[in-house]
Structure 1
Amino acid sequence: MIYNRIAHLLGLALILMLTWAPAQTEGYALGQSKFGRIEKFPYQVMLIGKQLWRKRILCGGTLLDRRWILTAGHCTMGVTHYDVYLGTKSVEDTEQLGGLVLRSNKFIVHERFNPETAANDIALVKLPMDIAFTSRIQPASLPSRYRQDQFAGMSVVASGWGAMVEMTNSDSMQYTELKVISNAECAQEYDVVTAGVICAKGLKDETVCTGDSGGPLVLKDTQVVVGITSFGPADGCETNIPGGFTRVTHYLDWIESKIGGRSAPQQQYLRTQQHHQQQHHQHPYSDNNLI
């Protein structure tokens, strides 16, 4: 959630090249974004992927059960394997916090994922073994398939490690509160908003940014995951333009078909709040919008 003045969304690079040398980069927090305690986000996963043509890339993920992680389809592009960090707020703190690091080379991408339109931007990463749950490693809940509302007007929380030009092993997870807007309102910003997309925007200049890709969007004060960070404004993160997320309720059947079951949904939901329509010029989508 950190924005650097020379960092922008990176098109099909999508995520950050990482360096483990000390960084001199100065970060700028987005609006109300805050550093997070992993106990509040025990479902948050860090995915460090090795690509064939790059060094390393950074994405987020959501733990669904003892074996499966939910992430974005574009986070798998060119990746041969992941180092999966669970139960930690940073690479540096993993051992101290009792976190877990596993390597995985097994992942499933939606069969109709299209990076040119961000369609079906969803994937699953399979861990090499069943993991034990702790106070810092807990699964998120999938939303009920019987929810009739589209979440518009509800408060949600996005979390992740984006974005810095260079990420170090001491960079901490951050989170920010957003509000879901209707797809009709979001379509005024982007030309790729479909039933499989959910959009949310900040009260000020908060939005998801490079490196947050694949991470969770949950209903506030719950661990119910309703979105997967997918795309955002191509002209930078320090903006009040909404971010685009893969709508989890749209893909429940697909998730179940791959993992063979689903977590029981949490029953704590916030009441729908009245949202305010705002007029904007539409931002034609290009793959530069993928975060």
Structure 2
Amino acid sequence: MQRVADKNNNLEPFPPDFFYVIAGTREGGTEPSDGTIHQVKTVFRHPKFKGVNSDTNGHHDVGLLELVDEIELGEKSQLVELAHEDDRPAVGTDCKLAGWGKNPDHPGDKSLYQIHFNIISSQECYDEFASDEVDELEKHEICAQAPGRNECPGDSGGPLIDTTTNRQIGIVSYGAFDCTSDDTPGVLTRVTDNLDYINEIKAIRRNVAGCGYVPQGVTNEQTLEQYPPEFFHVISGTREGSVNPTNGTIHDVKAVFHHPKYEGLNSKSRAHNDVALLQLVDNIELGETSQLVELAHENERPAIGTKCKLAGWGKNPDHPDDPDLYQIYFNVISTLECYLYYPADSLIGLWKHEICAKAPGKNQCQGDSGGPLIDTTTNRQVGIVSYGRQDCTTGAPGVLARVTDNLNYINETLNAIRFCYKMSFNVAKEISNFLKMKLKLIGLVVFSTILLNSSLAQERIYGGEPIDITDAPYMVHLYHRHSADPDDHKISLCGGVTDKNNNLEQFPPDFFHVISGTREGSPHPSEGKIHEVKTVFHHPKYQGIKSKSHAHHDVALLELVDEIELSDKSQLIDLAHEDDRPAVGTECKLAGWGKNPDHPDDKDLYQIHYNIVSSEDCYKAYHFDKPKELEKHEICAHAEGKNQCQGDSGGPMIDTTTNRQIGIVSYGDPDCTTDKPGVLVRVTDNLDYINEIIAKTNPE
């Protein structure tokens, strides 16, 4: 489907490298005889768009694409001017729309076509669709209609041009599936309703593309949420608030960690957990102009009246043209006083999650977001600038995220960066036509639901025997880089890392690689092959072991850049059939890498044999879930003196009778030498999802 400006809801599921843009041609094919092809660098989706069938209908149905290279302007490639802020074209205004969409009059013609049609009233549009209130349609959308002419499927994202001003006023959003109906108007996103967002994206690209200055917002969740790591740079060691400072050091950002509980200022939880962390590609060299600040201790709650200081490069009403660093001193105020200014939050919520501070004639301002509030008594950081009144001269207090409320998340993220664990996972085979589709092989990846630390990471397969890779050729390793640089040799073992699937979501695919065809548990084995990861697919229903659904659907899939070449050391494994329900007592085998209690210095591949136990026995061991739910979603297995351990997460449990994979290691007792069974995700409970991903990555 070719578009002039692509439609947000069709862009949503896909990464940038799934798209390309063709400019300068009237031909609607993928290989035109003229024109230029452009790769897409970044996709920006409007954060308020929820879908045509949501409670907001199609409001903000707009996405922006940043291209890798610029489109060279010429006779066949020109810019179009966007509507001005006060453009409100009247009913009857003549407009034009071009596109390569479906053409009922010329179904075999893929060339560019154009129509003229006229704006109709929001009331007429409402009478036809009745999907939104009239005043909401008027605010967010434009409707247009003409006898015998209409937008059609495939025209989505196309520009509606006001022929009077020659400015773009609309973006094709939705309409009737049968576009030959004279009674049904086309509905288009109103450009003026989205100008702030468009200008925001343009502005941040201007700031970041050259030198990447983000004024003091680099630790503030609401600023970072929409953008990938490469959009940011950090400048340290300078007081200048400039994208091109005369001193200081510029640092690229490797990864952005967003607090998973932050839901936005307008959510029920307000700005709670408004914190994010950036991992830099290179370390900041400490010196006179670059120092660390100590974080608040766990039990610190600065008293009312505590004197604090805050520095930032934000808006300064007293010195509007001065871009340099400024600092203020102000004092912590009571939660009750803060609540009187910001009653949208509860007293308890403010007390637990935020700190409020105030001083006559002094305040935090726009551009100070993410800045550190320092307790002058302890010289430790107790807050992070979150929000306040837009007019920062009013005397209303500033609201800051409380550091102590976020220490667990900060420490968890730091540990995840410091200690990256190895995960074994299997290359899975779908039974009928997996090989025929020539899929760039997918590995099933599952995360351990017990948060690991450096000591737990020393335990893996317990009570097993060493095997060669030819005994389990379906086994591969997953590793995590210290950076996205493919030449980075500081590679750590990675796996079974966390209590939630979405911790892998914090890292882009190029932070991982897979090693196949070796029994060695090393990032630099003497044999085997290294494969880059193209895409990571996270099961959308997995919510974590502490959620109501516990570890159900604790599974993710990786698509590799290159195929794994099959041999005696690299083979596929059959997945369980839909009706496979192995009985209690069934013998199974499980392989995995790393240190284990019996052989702490042995990094080679080990395997155990153990037996399926009943869901009732499993329930008695953990009391996490009811037996009926365990029976549906998980398999439990046990053997005397043998067990799965941390670091085996994601490993395949094989039914020795059928030689098919029936389980994926999920969680167990942190002490794997106990008699508690191991818990594994049931493969048959996830076959629909696996098949869906296979179909998505192999549409042919």
Q: Residue 633 of structure 2: which of 171, 196, 199 is its match? A: 196
Deviation, 1:220, is 1.9
**Cα distance in 1, alignment partners of residues 455 and 506 from structure 2:** 14
How far, CA to CA, are the matches of 2:680 and 2:537 in structure 1?
A: 18
Higher RCO by CA contacts (8 Å cutoff, separation 6 or greater): 1
| Equivalent residues of 1:48, 1:58 under 8 A apart | yes
Q: Which residue of 2 aligns with 1:232?
A: 668
Equivalent positions of 1:78-227 (< 5 A) are 78-80=506-508, 81-92=511-522, 96-97=526-527, 99-115=528-544, 116=546, 117-147=550-580, 149-163=581-595, 171-193=603-625, 194=630, 195-202=632-639, 204-220=640-656, 223-227=659-663
Distance 2:507 2:689 in 1: 22
1:196–1:247 CA contact under 8 A, matched in 2: yes
Shift of the 253–10 alpha-carbon distance from structure 1 to 2, 3 Å rule, reads closer
Q: Which residue of 1 aligns with 2:472?
A: 41
Q: What is the one-letter code of the residue matched to 1:48? A: Y
Shift of 1:94: 6.9
Which digits, 9 at most, give the CA deviation of each residue in 1:53-86, with x for residues without a partner?
Answer: xx845338xxxxxxxxxxx947735343222011
Distance 1:118 1:83 in 2: 25
Aligned to 1:76: 504
Distance in structure 2 (CA, Å) of the matches to 1:207 and 1:125? 26
Cα shift at 1:201: 0.5
AA aligned to 2:583 is: F
Question: Which residue identity is paired with 1:248?
Answer: V
Measure, in 2, the Cα distance between the counterparts of 1:83 and 1:16.
24
Q: Is the 8 A contact 1:36 1:173 kept in 2?
A: yes
- Compute the TM-score of the two structures, normalised by the length of structure 1: 0.67
Structure 2 gap segments, 5+ residues each: 1-447, 484-490
Cα deviation, residue 182, structure 1 = 1.7
**CA deviation after TM superposition for structure 1 residue 15, in Å:** 8.7
- The residue type paired with residue 588 of structure 2 is V
Question: Which stretch of the first structure deviates more once superposed, 155-164 or 102-111?
Answer: 155-164
Aligned pairs, number: 227
Q: 1:90 is matched by which residue type in structure 2?
A: E
Matched letter for residue 638 of structure 2: K
Cα separation, 1, equivalents of 2:606 and 2:585: 23
Are residues 41 and 247 of structure 1, via their aligned partners in 2, closer, same or farther at CA, if it must alter by over 3 Å? Answer: same
Distance across 2 between alignment mates of 1:197 and 1:15: 27
Q: Aligned to 2:647, what secondary structure does the other structure show? A: coil
**1:160/1:212 contact within 8 Å kept:** yes
3-state secondary structure, aligned to 1:144 = coil
- Residues 13, 29 of structure 1: alpha-carbon distance in 2 compared, 3 angstrom cutoff: closer
Which residue is equivalent to 2:451? 12
The CA deviation at 1:102 is 1.0
With 216-225 and 193-202 compared, the bigger mean Cα shift is at 216-225
Distance 1:83 1:114, change over 3 A: same
Helix, strand or coil at the partner of 2:494 = strand
- TM-score, L = length of structure 2: 0.30
Where in structure 1 do 4 or more consecutive aligned residues deviate above 6 Å?
14-18, 167-170
1:50 and 1:187 mapped to 2: Cα distance? 37
- Cα distance in 1, alignment partners of residues 537 and 471 from structure 2: 28
Correspondence for 1:248: 683
Question: Would the aligned equivalents of 2:516 and 2:530 in 1 still touch at CA under 8 Å?
Answer: yes
In structure 2, distance between residues paired with 1:252 and 1:192: 24
Give the whole-Å Cα distance in 1 for the aligned partners of 2:460 and 2:681: 26
- The change in CA–CA distance for 1:222 and 1:82 in structure 2 (over 3 A counts) is farther
- SS of structure 2 residue aligned to 1:255: helix
Q: 1:95 to 1:58 in 2, by over 3 A?
A: closer
Once the two structures are aligned, what percentage of the paired residues are identical? 24
Measured in 2, the distance between the counterparts of 1:16 and 1:229 equals: 20
- Give the Cα–Cα distance (whole angstroms) in 2 for the partners of residues 30 and 128 of structure 1: 33
2:553, 2:568 → 1: CA distance? 32
- In the alignment, the residues of structure 2 paired with residue 168 and residue 101 of structure 1 have an alpha-carbon distance, to the nearest angstrom, of 25
Residue 28 and residue 156 in structure 1: after superposition, are their counterparts in 2 closer, same or farther (change >3 A)? closer
Aligned-residue offset at 1:250 = 1.0
SS in 2 for 1:227: strand
Q: CA 1:171/1:250 → structure 2, altered by over 3 Å: closer, same or farther? A: same
In 2, the alpha carbon distance for the partners of 1:134 and 1:144 equals 24
Q: Deviations over 1:164-211 (max 9, x none)?
A: 59x999710111111011212211112334311111011x12111111
* Secondary structure of 2:495's aligned partner: strand
Measured after TM superposition, the shift of residue 11 of structure 1 is: 3.3
How far 1:162 moved relative to its partner? 4.3
Counterparts of 2:502 and 2:453, CA distance in 1: 7
Q: Which runs of 5+ in 1 are unaligned?
A: 1-8, 19-24, 61-71, 262-291
CA 259–168 in structure 1, closer or farther in 2 if over 3 Å, else same: farther
Task: From the superposition, tell whether residues 92 and 123 of structure 1 become closer, same or farther in structure 2 (CA, over 3 Å).
Answer: closer
Cα gap change, 1:209/1:78 in structure 2, threshold over 3 Å: closer, same or farther?
farther
- The residue type paired with residue 693 of structure 2 is K
